[in-house]
Amino acid sequence: MATHSANLSERFQQAWGSQPRLFQAPGRVNLIGEHTDYNDGFVLPAAIQLQTRIAAGPAPGRQLFVKSATYPDDAVFDLDDTNPLPRKHWSDYVRGVALFLEREGLTLKGARLLIESDIPPGAGLSSSAALEVATAWALLSDSGLHMELSKIAQVCHRAENEFVGVRSGIMDQFASCYGRRDHALLLDCRSLEMRYVPVPHNAAMMVCNTMVRHELGSSEYNSRRRQCEQGMAVLSRFLPDIRALRDVSAAQLARFSAELDPLIHRRCRHVIEENRRVLTGAQALEHCDLVSFGALMMESHQSLRLDYEVSSPELDLMCELALGVEGVYGARMVGGGFGGCALALADQSAIETFVPTVMEEYRRRTGIACEIYQCSAADGAGPIGG
Ligand code: ADP
Ligand code: MG
């Protein structure tokens, strides 16, 4: 990372002639717990070493100057405009964070931000949350302000949901803020309580990008959320105390299954079982039991494929190929579905064969050159170099 930061610093100086301060926020991969977040459930993400870095320096007045090393079109904002509209531009993430920081009652100073990232965007590793969280760190520091980490995560989450207009859970921002080297984070999406869970040293997180994203992703995501609400509407007639699917046990679901449309029943079953898998999985990791954890990952994948119906042929193939490599404990699709990445948990000893085998076989079967990122659990966001 040291050379990255030096280059970023230099580029900032070339552009704006002053010495910047540097901040980073990591991407994340979710080990288990898919489509549980918006049902008030549990997730188990880890921050990863792929990160977004921002070089930041002051600007006169209340102007915000923003450049990305990877995206075209710089942007300029006036922080005194208290009712900005999104421009459908990457800089909306930055503007949204600034807006919601100020809505917390803070007054930011003008700033210049130069952004770079090694997180592949749109692959499900949460380059968006990394951008938001790095922006929050840069703007707060530049203004000499402090905010608690959980508040930063919530502000960034609001920026993405309410300003950029992407409906997503809070997991991404939490993982980017609270990541810890060699640990995953068991997060209760209702109370936002969390517990660190060690990721055993012999496990490598291999993130395999199918390089395919099917268009129906976002409409199907919204439809799954609606279906969960429909399930809740029926179940709460019989179980008046429940507030979300997270409150329903497998036994209760079985008891009232005849009341539910079969499709809604399957959707609910995925969420309820997936919550159980997250909690059991966290315990398995705590006992260094990668075999049990791997088995839960495979159950999760099958449930996402058959009950929740959000997998894709490419994701299924990627998991099948990963599982064919000796030393792989488990594999599953990650993220909303319909494309993006699969995650395989592999023994360190399997890495050398894993990459060429999966890449070659995936290319042979699909004609597509996939990308594989070997990830390790990393620390959360903060200043670079003290
Ligand atoms: P994911 O979070 O899974 O990577 P999203 O679609 O949520 O995918 O977020 C990707 C978007 O975030 C990009 O299209 C872009 O608008 C913004 N973004 C991410 N990284 C950068 C960057 N380095 N510079 C500018 N914009 C970025
Ligand atoms: Mg995102």
pLDDT in tens, 130-165: 999 999 999 999 999 999 999 999 999 999 999 999
Specify the residue with its C-alpha closest to ligand 1, atom 7. 128
User: Which of 71, 128, 176, when mutated, tests ligand 1's pocket best, judged by the most ligand atoms within 8 Å of its CB?
Assistant: 128
d(CA 134, CA 140): 10
The pLDDT of residue 219 is 85
Q: Among all chains, which residue has been given the structure tokens 């129906």?
A: 216
**Most distant pair of Cα atoms in the chain: their distance:** 69
Angle, alpha carbons 172-316-27 (nearest 5°)? 20
* Annotated catalytic residue, options 92, 172, 247, 307: 172
User: Which of 131, 132, 135, when mutated, tests ligand 1's pocket best, judged by the most ligand atoms within 8 Å of its CB?
Assistant: 131
Specify the residue with its C-alpha closest to ligand 1, atom 24. 68
Per-residue pLDDT of the chain (386 residues; tens, 9 = 90+): 566 777 999 999 999 999 999 999 999 999 999 999 999 999 999 999 999 999 999 999 999 999 999 999 999 999 999 899 999 999 999 999 999 999 999 999 999 999 999 998 888 899 999 999 999 999 999 999 999 999 999 999 999 999 999 888 899 999 999 999 999 999 999 999 999 999 999 999 999 999 998 777 678 988 999 999 999 999 999 999 999 999 999 999 999 999 999 999 999 999 999 999 999 999 999 999 999 999 999 999 999 999 999 999 999 999 999 999 999 999 999 988 999 999 999 999 999 999 999 999 999 999 999 999 999 999 999 999 86
d(CA 77, CA 165): 19
267 in Cβ contact with 34 (< 8 Å):
no
Pocket lining for ligand 1, CB < 6 angstroms: 52, 68, 70-71, 90, 93, 115, 117, 121-128, 131
Radius of gyration (Cα) for the chain, nearest Å?
21
320 in Cβ contact with 287 (< 8 Å):
no
The pLDDT of residue 1 is 55
Handedness of CA 312, 188, 126, 159 (dihedral sign): positive
* pTM (two decimals): 0.94
202: tokens are 């012999």
37 in Cβ contact with 171 (< 8 Å):
yes
Element (H, E) at 191: none
Distance in angstroms between the alpha carbons of the first and the last residue of the chain: 14
Ligand 1 atom nearest to CA at 172: 2
Distances (CA, A) of 1 to 8, 116, 137, 346: 11, 12, 18, 25
Q: Is 172 a catalytic site residue? A: yes
Distances (CA, A) of 24 to 7, 133, 171, 384: 14, 8, 18, 6
Specify the residue with its C-alpha closest to ligand 1, atom 18. 128
Instruction: Measure CA 281 to chain center.
Output: 18
- Domains annotated for the chain, with CATH where assigned, are 2-200 (3.30.230.10), 203-375 (3.30.70.890)
Element (H, E) at 302: helix 290-306
Ligand 1 atom nearest to CA at 168: 7
Backbone angles phi, psi at 77, to 5 degrees: -130, 155
Q: What is the phi-psi region of residue 165: left when phi exceeds 0, alpha when psi lies from -120 to 50, beta otherwise?
A: left
Distances (CA, A) of 160 to 131, 166, 271, 280: 10, 6, 24, 31
The answer for residues whose C-beta is within 8 angstroms of residue 213's C-beta and 6 or more apart is 122, 338, 339, 340
181 in Cβ contact with 48 (< 8 Å):
no
Judged by DSSP in three states, 25 sits in strand
Angle, alpha carbons 12-84-164 (nearest 5°)? 75
pLDDT in tens, 261-312: 999 999 999 999 999 999 999 999 999 999 999 999 999 999 999 999 999 9
d(CA 334, CA 163): 25
Strand partners, 198: 183
Instruction: Measure CA 127 to chain center.
Output: 8
Handedness of CA 77, 78, 80, 85 (dihedral sign): negative
175: tokens are 């993982």
- Within 10 Å of residue 258's Cβ, how many Cβ atoms? 8
